């Protein structure tokens, strides 16, 4: 069968009509023509670690309500999610599958869907009379759920066999745990299934942008780690399990988080700070459809920023200054309006939640805390090129630092810290390093020898950045010959930052533009 066992499926133009992919991309954010050609009952290849297959689970695990919210979801992806849950979750553990329609407009999600679902056991359909967004829609589902545990799931997922039991077991052992499966990926163009390598955990940067990162704890060094849950600073919102009573106790979803975005970071920080924990269970795997683009627009373009501002104002304490320096749009919005957060601050107080310094020290010590010295942090501006240091287009090991127009958004943030490192970007994980004469980004070292390739000095009088090891100066080069023609040439000069003998040329003159005081 097409796409079976998670294989890629390619359609040619004569199969789909020439414009099939672009129109479905605009409508859904993925290639719907390919999805329509794949069975809604397709099975995924086994991707769990062999030790997971030997795990034994109690017969008396708590019951679960799986809550799936959807808004204008494609027919094939929604039904594939439904059938995937029903065919992989043991009947004795699955109390119900709750579908919540968040005011969809598409005709196939009206009466046709109601009729289709009426023939499936343990499936209920709720409809909202107004647009709620992710947090509001999931909160509605949670309020109607009957299972002991809630499993929130996006409406474009496919479950591996045995995905539910590890989640239920971890929460049953400690009702304050919130547990995610490993999130595998489904390609938006071909619907190929791609298994994520373990270990993985959720993290965020100082702009409050989420990502999954590979963790340094390697299973081959410790065989037990292949099946052992890993604590995670934050979880993605794709799929996670939480005890229903603990969910309500800790405040559910923040009703002030509007439509879409950031609700998983807010919930993660709150759960950790207020007595719970977040973790990833490696023997549970659910694949999530990666979208090429968001298929809907927001009535208010500042919505995501407002959600971030809520997190900063409620949870980050004095550290919110760092967020506002990294996200200047949020800074300017906050100057003109104040979020309504009184109730959430009262909740924080009544639960006896710990502060953000505790969170950074105990839960996420790997997040670099910037020094933000005014004359030595901000956008790194070059006088001769009249532009700013910029990150590589694609993340790769030791990718070259480029020059680009200054964004003014905080995304090009650099800082020269007291260790003489130039830290790059909102996360501050990468440092200016050298590869030959080219300046590249490398993971920042924990310790330095006396003088390392990572160390720099800012000469205030001349505006030069001196590389201590080579005693050469940082120079902006806009173009040097053609761009790389092959991956082997990726480090060859084609514009960017280089080490050259020190002169008084304007391309060696730099200053840090501190965007937000």
Residues 90 and 195 both lie in one domain: yes
**Residue 439 Cα distances to 415, 459, 499, angstroms:** 15, 18, 7
Distance separating alpha carbons of residues 500 and 256, to the nearest angstrom: 52
Structure tokens, 24: 């479905």
Whether residue 300 is contained in a domain is answered as no
Give the tokens for residue 432.
Answer: 């200016």
- CA distance to 95, 126, 433, per residue, from 117 (Å): 16, 11, 57
pLDDT confidence band for 449 (50 / 70 / 90): low
Mean pLDDT for the stretch of residues 467-477 = 97
Q: What is the per-residue pLDDT for 408?
A: 86
Q: pLDDT, tens digit, for every residue of 388-407?
A: 999 887 666 788 999 999 98
Tokens of 20: 């099939």
Q: Are both 285 and 388 inside the same structural domain?
A: no
**Total number of domains in the chain:** 2
In whole angstroms, what is the distance from residue 234 CA to residue 215 CA?
13
What is the model's pLDDT at position 20? 47
Same domain, 278 and 415: no
Residue 495, phi-psi category: left (phi > 0), alpha (psi -120 to 50), beta (remainder): left
Q: Which domain holds residue 482?
A: 377-513
Q: Select from 239, 261, 289 the last residue of a domain.
A: 289
- The enclosing H or E element of 325 equals helix 320-326
pLDDT higher than threshold 60 for residue 173: yes
The per-residue pLDDT for range 355-382, each reduced to its tens digit, is: 999 999 999 999 999 987 878 999 999 9
Residues 6+ apart with CB under 8 A from 197: 214
Please indicate, yes or no, if residue 343 is contained in any of the structural domains: no
What single string gives the DSSP state of each residue in 343-388?
HHHHHHHHTT---HHHIIIII-TTS------GGGEEEEEETTTTEE
Residue where one domain finishes, among candidates 256, 273, 289: 289
Section 456-479 average pLDDT: 94
CATH of the domain at 223: 3.90.550.10
Q: How confident is the model at residue 294 (pLDDT cuts 50, 70, 90)?
A: low
> What's the mean per-residue pLDDT of the chain?
88
pLDDT of residue 28: 65
Q: What is the 8-class DSSP label of residue 234?
A: B
Supply the pLDDT for residue 220. Answer: 52
Angle among Cα 145, 288, 154 to the nearest 5 degrees reads 25
Question: 276 lies in a domain?
Answer: yes
% residues pLDDT > 70 (the chain): 86
CA dist 169 and 284 (Å) reads: 11
Distance of alpha carbon 347 from its chain centroid, rounded? 26
Mean pLDDT of 263-280: 98
Q: pLDDT tens, 145-166?
A: 999 999 999 999 999 999 999 9
Structure tokens at 42: 């397709």
- In tens, the pLDDT along 209-219 reads 999 998 664 44
Res. 487 pLDDT band, cuts 50 70 90: very low
Interstrand relation of 472-477 and 496-500 (parallel, antiparallel or unpaired) = antiparallel
Do 400 and 268 share a structural domain?
A: no
Residue 341 lies in a domain: no
Whole-number Å distance between alpha carbons of 126 and 481: 60
Based on the domain organization, do 23 and 151 belong to the same domain? yes
pLDDT over 90 for what percent of the chain? 71
Residue 298 counted as domain residue: no
- Domain presence at residue 323: no
- The predicted pLDDT at position 515 comes to 64
Q: How many Å apart are CA 77 and CA 262, to the nearest integer?
A: 24
Q: What is the DSSP letter of 270?
A: H
What is the reported pLDDT for 360?
A: 98
What is the SS3 assignment for 274?
A: coil
Which of 240, 255, 289 lies at the terminal end of a domain, its last residue?
Answer: 289
The Cα–Cα gap between 66 and 79 comes to 14
Q: How would residue 446 be classed by pLDDT, with cut points 50, 70 and 90?
A: confident
Residues 6+ apart with CB under 8 A from 120: 82, 86, 97
On whether the CB atoms of residues 443 and 425 are closer than 8 A, the answer is no
Residue 46 maps to a domain: no
Whole-number Å distance between alpha carbons of 224 and 217: 11
Distance between CA atoms of residues 362 and 269, nearest Å: 12
What CATH number corresponds to the domain at position 492? 2.80.10.50
Any domain includes 54: no
Tokens 């020290």 belong to which residue? 361
How much is the pLDDT for 6? Answer: 63
Q: Are residues 234 and 98 in the same domain?
A: yes
Domain co-membership, 384 together with 509: yes
């Amino acid at each position: 069968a097409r796409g079976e066992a998670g294989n890629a499926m390619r359609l040619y133009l004569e199969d789909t009509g020439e414009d099939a992919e672009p129109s479905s991309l605009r409508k859904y954010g993925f290639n719907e023509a390919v999805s329509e050609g794949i069975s809604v009952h397709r099975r995924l290849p086994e991707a769990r670690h062999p030790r997971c297959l030997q795990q034994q689970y109690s017969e008396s695990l708590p019951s679960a309500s799986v809550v799936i919210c959807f808004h204008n979801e494609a027919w094939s992806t929604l039904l594939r999610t439904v059938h995937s849950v029903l065919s992989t979750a043991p009947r004795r553990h699955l109390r119900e599958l709750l579908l919540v329609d968040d005011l969809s407009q598409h005709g196939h999600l009206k009466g046709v869907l109601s009729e289709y679902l009426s023939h499936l056991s343990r499936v209920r359909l709720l409809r909202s009379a107004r647009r709620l967004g992710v947090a509001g829609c999931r909160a509605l589902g949670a309020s109607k759920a009957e299972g002991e545990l809630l499993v929130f799931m996006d409406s474009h997922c496919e479950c591996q066999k045995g995905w539910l039991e590890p989640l239920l077991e971890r929460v049953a052992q400690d009702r304050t745990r919130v547990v995610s499966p490993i999130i595998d990926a489904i390609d938006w163009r071909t619907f190929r299934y791609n298994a994520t390598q373990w270990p993985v955990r959720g993290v965020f940067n100082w702009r409050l942008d989420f990502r999954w990162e590979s963790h340094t704890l390697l299973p081959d060094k410790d065989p037990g780690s292949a099946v052992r849950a890993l604590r995670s600073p934050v979880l993605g919102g794709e799929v996670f399990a939480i005890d229903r009573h603990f969910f309500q106790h800790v405040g559910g979803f923040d009703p002030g988080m509007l439509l879409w975005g950031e609700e998983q970071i807010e919930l993660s920080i709150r759960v950790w700070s207020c007595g719970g924990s977040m973790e990833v269970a490696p023997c549970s795997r659910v694949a999530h459809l990666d979208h090429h683009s968001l298929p809907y627009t927001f009535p208010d373009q500042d919505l995501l920023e407002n959600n971030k501002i809520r997190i900063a104002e409620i949870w980050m304490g004095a550290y919110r200054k760092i967020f506002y320096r990294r996200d200047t749009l949020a800074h300017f919005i906050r100057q003109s309006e104040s979020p309504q957060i009184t109730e959430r601050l009262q909740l924080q107080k009544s639960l006896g939640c710990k502060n953000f310094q505790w969170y950074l020290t105990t839960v996420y010590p790997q997040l670099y805390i910037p020094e933000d010295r005014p004359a030595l942090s901000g956008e790194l501006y070059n006088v001769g090129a009249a532009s700013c240091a910029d990150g590589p287009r694609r993340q790769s090991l030791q990718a070259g630092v480029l020059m680009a127009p200054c964004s003014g958004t905080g995304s090009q943030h650099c800082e020269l810290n007291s260790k003489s490192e130039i830290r790059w970007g909102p996360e501050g994980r990468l440092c200016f390093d050298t590869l030959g004469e080219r300046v590249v980004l490398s993971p920042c070292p924990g310790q330095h020898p006396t003088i390392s390739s990572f160390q720099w000095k800012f000469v205030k009088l001349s505006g030069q950045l001196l590389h201590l090891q080579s005693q050469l100066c940082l120079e902006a080069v806009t173009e040097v010959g053609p761009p790389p023609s092959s991956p082997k040439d990726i480090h060859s000069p084609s514009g960017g930052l280089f080490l050259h003998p020190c002169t008084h040329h304007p391309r060696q003159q730099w200053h840090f533009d501190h965007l937000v005081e």
